[in-house]
Structure 1
Amino acid sequence: MHRLRQKRGYARGGVFFAGLLLGTCFHTAAYAQGAPPTPGQRELDDYEPVGGRIGSFLLYPSAEARIEYDDNILALPGGGEDDVELTLRGAARLESQWQRHSLEANAYIQQNFHARLSSEDAMEGGARIDGRLDIDRDTSARLVASIDSLVENRASIAIAREALEPTRFRRADALASLSHDFGALQMTGDAQIILLDFDDVPAQGGGVLGQDFRDSVYMRGALTAAVEISPRVSGLLRGQVDRLTFTAEEDQPDPFDRDTTGYTLEAGVRLELDNLLFGEIRAGVLHREVDDPSAQGLTGVSFGANLTWSVTPLTTLRLFADRQVEEGGSQLVSGNVRSQARLVAEHELLRNFVLEGEASFAQIDTIGQVDVSAQEYSLMAEATWRLNRNFRVFARADRFERFSDGDFFREFTRNRLMTGVRVVF
């Protein structure tokens, strides 16, 4: 039996994961661009694709084929059906070669095929554009926009467990930012809007599972200040305000008004210690208010870390950690609080052969009408071999486990083995 909470807990912190997660990731990624490349990111002159010139742009097409064995393709408790999946993917990247400013466009399409469960077959695709305008030496503007047609992973904690096939959804995302360097002080302001639209999905026992209640519009604005304390250490202060609106149709009303408004305040440091330890650590407060007068908001701790440690010239360790509010996938909850950490190790065994290992942990707690928690563990090992400029061979093995103190979250274990080849030009 689920433990019921009072109405004050109905909608605490109902921000959608695509909002806070993407907002945090953009802030972190913008800084991570200056970090030393890891073994898997290093460019090797005689192993990099040449591309094709189109005016002042270079075009890099690629194609990929991979085959994967999954011992629990539907992510069912106690084990389930195994299957073999073939995925074919085509992509292209167009990159400017200007001395000032930059423009990059990416597009992809992929189709997977399953040997046994053809209901899991799906096509995905999308496009993204990323442009930077250098207004002057100290000021730059950036615009990033993307649109994707996706299929929800069966292992997602928010997916409808009674679904006969994976849930399809579309995501549109636009982000604009402006940065200025005042010398010892760097200021960055950014604004973002994300639209999510989920399709209804056939139910296993017949009928249709409505997913309109998950449709949403998310808007946010943020301001980040970085103050140089020393040549290798900077202090950080970041503030963000955001608004989430669910756009469910009237034929699928919510039991309460889940729309929320919130803010995040964080302080931290950026480090660059002798090119060995590079990254940032931050902590602060996360607050949300709910439109429904019967529901009380949430005030809690916000934290994050993105650290890179060059243990040796051939080995790198990276640590990622954060606490965020994500979608719950149910009208009974207004979201989940996810506290997570991920450790990644990369080692250059040979100049063109890189090994990677990853371990992660997440604690998930519901906020809403039910009080349930879950823990997720995952392990991954991967090897990538660059044969020449055009061919890459890769292999991966991973294990995922979820445990829960109630049946609201599905417990399962999933093991996968995958190998493939990528051709780049």
Structure 2
Amino acid sequence: MAGGRKIVGLVHVLAALAGAGAMFACVFAGSAAAQILDPPGWRTTVTSRPPAPRLRPTLPDDASTGEEDARAFDSGAFGPNETARAPQPVGVDGIVEDAGGLRPTLADDDAAESEGEEDQPRRVRVPQDGDPVSVIEEAAVQDGIIDLNGPGETAEVQAEITEFDLRSPEDIRAFAGEPAGFDPLLLQANEQNPVFSPSNFQGFLLDPYPPIGTKIGSFLLFTTLEANYDYNSNLFASPNALGDSSLEVRPAARLASNWSRHAVELRASGDLSYHDRYSSEDDRAYVVEGLGRVDITSRSNLQGFLAREYGQESRSAINAESAGTRPNITVDRARAAYNQRFNRLTMQLRGNIVDTSYSTNVFDDQTQSNSDRDYMLYEQAVRPMWEFSPYLFAFADISFNQRDYKIPTFSDGILRSSTGERYRFGVSFGDVSQVLRGTISLGYAHQQIDNHLLPAVDGLLIDADLAWAVTPLTVLSFTATSDVAETTTAYSPGVMERNYGLEARHSFTRYLVGNAGVGYMTRNFINTDYNEEQFTAAVGTEYYANSWSVLFARYQHIDFQSSQAQSSYTAEIVQAGVRLRH
């Protein structure tokens, strides 16, 4: 009996302890549930989460692509700007950050284990010092896209859009049908803008038919063919205006790889024009380029770029003549960049070599040499960028250059070889926001001729590439570029050139887009009394007839003023044509 009573007592004690433990667990369970960061409305299964928003231009495996560049040869993009829905970004410790609802869910590799289970509120991993801002984790570099700015630079992705531009200033204004991201840096500057020229940012696109391209094995091929009628009332950019009409044809093709790692792109473009009265103004220009990216790790890569550009000098170039024939310009470029991301910090080291040469031209029945304009440009640069959020970045761009001339300038006998520095500091608003996107910076430029026979060129740099979606149907864009350009003007060490453009684009219907804008350009010839300025106004329309053809028309008015006698002029330009694309 005594043993039985001991067993019964032991059972009661165990039962009491079990009951106390159950009550204790209930209390703590309620406390833990109160600490869940997700509101009740966010509880959902992994398979039912909303898709992530589009983050940045990518090149998908399927047919979901973005807009082709508005003008393949004019913008230098030589192909479309593909966009696709970004993959669901995966964070640390298997947590997926859902950009659509800003809530954490299980990663895809845990979906099989969670299938069939009841929805349970889950804890969010405690943020650690140095973790990225948990709003939208950056998506990995997508297949086929070669980003010379490296990982983490959301506002500036893919390849250059104005590396190659042999057109006159009136043809390259930001409001001439080009969305934000266009960089009107003139070829005459003979130096790419180290902050913005790698940009392929297209602002807020208003294209109802994104081109899909043609899949060729593990590559995608994009092609365009643009033909237009052009009338220029002052073809020679002269006070004595002579007008002429022409037919212009611009074919372009882009072949991009679609690999899981690394990337290769090949691009080609041509510009052919046939004038009615003055065949000396016919264009026979082309550009070929190749880009490559080698992915070392998920946070570092090496990139390379090779290109050749051939064309004729514009009549409105800094050193151009308004009479005689136009010299041919050949530009060979090579660039390499190393990109490394350290969490929120991205670093880029790059180097650039540009070889520019000019052919002879005929003036007053005399052959005129331009060998004094041939030179080599060497550039070295570093570019750190800090990510505060996907909507705000701060960056600096510091570059050094050496310009090497072989012979002195014919006009004054002074060798123009020089060294220079560029310092730029700015902010980027990324390309995720539905209101404001793009980049703006302020900086300082210094260029000094090696022999110090002429003064240095110093000036403030203002660069911008902004797009503001006023409404879903209206986009306002602002572009600005500034740099030191070369000149053969006697006793001038260089030209401080600045360009500004303001453009408005509006979708009247899904298929009809209108644009209007103004542009302003200034040139200050250092150490001389020469100054130039140009005001441009333009309007245009684009009608997207179907997925493979676009009809367009443009009108431009140009008012050029110069401090030199008999150099000011005005011009009217009318264009109408069709753009075929695939």
**Secondary structure in 2 matching 1:169:** strand
Specify which of 282, 294, 303 is matched with residue 121 of structure 1: 282
**Secondary structure in 2 matching 1:350:** coil
State the Cα deviation string for residues 214-260 of structure 1 (Å, max 9, x = none).
11111101111112345532222221110001234x89585212110
Find the counterpart in structure 2 of residue 422 from structure 1. 579
Find the counterpart in structure 1 of residue 428 from structure 2. 270
- Preserved contact between residue 457 and residue 526 of structure 2 (Cα < 8 Å): no
What CA distance in whole angstroms lies between the structure 2 residues aligned with 1:268 and 1:69? 40
Please provide the CA RMSD for this pair.
2.5
**Secondary structure in 2 matching 1:135:** strand
Written as runs of structure 1 = structure 2, the 5 A alignment for 1:24-423 is 24=193, 26-30=194-198, 33=201, 36-39=203-206, 42=207, 44=208, 47-77=209-239, 79-161=240-322, 163-203=323-363, 205-248=364-407, 252=410, 255-272=413-430, 274-368=433-527, 370-407=528-565, 410-423=567-580
- Preserved contact between residue 219 and residue 255 of structure 2 (Cα < 8 Å): yes
State the Cα deviation string for residues 76-119 of structure 1 (Å, max 9, x = none).
11x41111111123222212222333222111233211111122
Question: Which blocks of at least 5 consecutive residues in structure 2 are unaligned?
Answer: 1-184
- TM-score under structure 2 length normalisation: 0.64
In the TM superposition, what is the alpha-carbon distance from 1:120 to its structure 2 partner? 1.7
When residues 383 and 131 of structure 1 are mapped into structure 2, their CA distance, relative to the original with a 3 A threshold, is farther
What CA distance in whole angstroms lies between the structure 2 residues aligned with 1:372 and 1:97? 51
**Secondary structure in 2 matching 1:333:** coil
What CA distance in whole angstroms lies between the structure 2 residues aligned with 1:328 and 1:251? 9
State the Cα deviation string for residues 172-216 of structure 1 (Å, max 9, x = none).
11222121111121111211111111111111x221222111111
**Secondary structure in 2 matching 1:67:** strand
In the TM superposition, what is the alpha-carbon distance from 1:263 to its structure 2 partner? 0.9
In the TM superposition, what is the alpha-carbon distance from 1:145 to its structure 2 partner? 1.9
In the TM superposition, what is the alpha-carbon distance from 1:150 to its structure 2 partner? 0.6
**Secondary structure in 2 matching 1:256:** coil
When residues 274 and 251 of structure 1 are mapped into structure 2, their CA distance, relative to the original with a 3 A threshold, is closer
Aligned amino acid, residue 353 of structure 1: L
What CA distance in whole angstroms lies between the structure 2 residues aligned with 1:144 and 1:345? 33
**Secondary structure in 2 matching 1:119:** helix
- Preserved contact between residue 429 and residue 438 of structure 2 (Cα < 8 Å): yes
In the TM superposition, what is the alpha-carbon distance from 1:75 to its structure 2 partner? 1.2
When residues 251 and 274 of structure 1 are mapped into structure 2, their CA distance, relative to the original with a 3 A threshold, is closer
Aligned amino acid, residue 366 of structure 1: F
Find the counterpart in structure 1 of residue 15 from structure 2. none
What CA distance in whole angstroms lies between the structure 2 residues aligned with 1:242 and 1:19? 16
Which stretch of the first structure deviates more once superposed, 66-75 or 332-341?
332-341
When residues 292 and 418 of structure 1 are mapped into structure 2, their CA distance, relative to the original with a 3 A threshold, is same
State the Cα deviation string for residues 270-320 of structure 1 (Å, max 9, x = none).
225943122222223222222113333233322322221111111111111
Aligned amino acid, residue 176 of structure 1: A
When residues 208 and 143 of structure 1 are mapped into structure 2, their CA distance, relative to the original with a 3 A threshold, is same
Higher helix share goes to which structure?
2
When residues 281 and 106 of structure 1 are mapped into structure 2, their CA distance, relative to the original with a 3 A threshold, is same
Aligned amino acid, residue 223 of structure 1: V
**Secondary structure in 2 matching 1:295:** coil
What CA distance in whole angstroms lies between the structure 2 residues aligned with 1:151 and 1:49? 31
What CA distance in whole angstroms lies between the structure 2 residues aligned with 1:37 and 1:96? 25
- Preserved contact between residue 93 and residue 105 of structure 1 (Cα < 8 Å): yes
- Preserved contact between residue 409 and residue 488 of structure 2 (Cα < 8 Å): no
- Preserved contact between residue 166 and residue 201 of structure 1 (Cα < 8 Å): yes
Which stretch of the first structure deviates more once superposed, 350-359 or 218-227?
350-359
What CA distance in whole angstroms lies between the structure 2 residues aligned with 1:113 and 1:275? 43
Find the counterpart in structure 1 of residue 93 from structure 2. none
**Secondary structure in 2 matching 1:23:** coil
What CA distance in whole angstroms lies between the structure 2 residues aligned with 1:341 and 1:36? 17
- Preserved contact between residue 190 and residue 486 of structure 2 (Cα < 8 Å): no
What CA distance in whole angstroms lies between the structure 1 residues aligned with 2:513 and 2:294? 35
- TM-score under structure 1 length normalisation: 0.86
Aligned amino acid, residue 71 of structure 1: S
In the TM superposition, what is the alpha-carbon distance from 1:19 to its structure 2 partner? 9.0
**Secondary structure in 2 matching 1:28:** coil
In the TM superposition, what is the alpha-carbon distance from 1:378 to its structure 2 partner? 0.9
- Preserved contact between residue 230 and residue 574 of structure 2 (Cα < 8 Å): yes
What CA distance in whole angstroms lies between the structure 2 residues aligned with 1:231 and 1:213? 48
- Preserved contact between residue 373 and residue 409 of structure 2 (Cα < 8 Å): no
Aligned amino acid, residue 539 of structure 2: A
Percent sequence identity over matched residues?
24
When residues 196 and 278 of structure 1 are mapped into structure 2, their CA distance, relative to the original with a 3 A threshold, is same
Aligned amino acid, residue 383 of structure 1: T
Please tell me whether Structure 1 or Structure 2 has the larger radius of gyration of its CA atoms.
2
